């Protein structure tokens, strides 16, 4: 018959649970929640958002209707290959008129 040391088993289970929780928290912190405003464009490589001098690659979201418009996108920001910024879009909407006018003034 096998004897089980329940105290040691409990310590092991709690240690593993703690490590899994900390790993998940680290991954979530690496993807920072962001809101970005700019002009949405569709390229051969996919969708991009041009915000002043910055260009963001986009993942996810239903963006077809907003191509060519000034938009506000929300999502998780992460660094991609070669330092490119990638936004995993969770919400997309056309920018309010006030925001769009400010963007036009900054571009001039």
Bridge-based pairing state of the strands 46-51 and 32-43: antiparallel
Number of H helices and E strands in the chain, helices first, is 2, 5
* Closest alpha carbon to 87 in 95, 79, 96: 79
pLDDT digits (tens, 9 = 90+) for 49-84: 999 899 999 998 889 999 999 999 999 888 888 888
The domain that holds 58 is classified in CATH as: 2.40.50.140
Assess if residue 15 is contained within a domain.
no
Provide the domain limits for residue 85. 32-107
- What does pTM read for this prediction? 0.62
Determine the pLDDT at residue 26: 55
Cβ atoms of 60 and 90 closer than 8 Å: yes
* Closest alpha carbon to 46 in 63, 32, 34: 63
């Amino acid at each position: 018959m096998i004897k089980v040391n329940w105290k040691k088993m409990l310590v092991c289970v709690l240690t593993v649970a703690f490590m899994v929780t900390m790993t998940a928290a680290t991954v979530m912190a690496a993807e920072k929640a962001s809101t970005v405003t700019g002009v949405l464009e569709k390229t051969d490589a996919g969708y991009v958002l041009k915000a002043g001098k910055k260009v963001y690659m986009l993942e996810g979201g239903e963006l077809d209707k907003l191509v060519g418009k000034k938009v506000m996108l929300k999502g998780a920001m992460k660094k991609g290959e070669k330092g490119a910024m990638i936004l995993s879009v969770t919400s997309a909407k056309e920018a309010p008129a006030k925001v769009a006018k400010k963007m036009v003034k900054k571009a001039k």
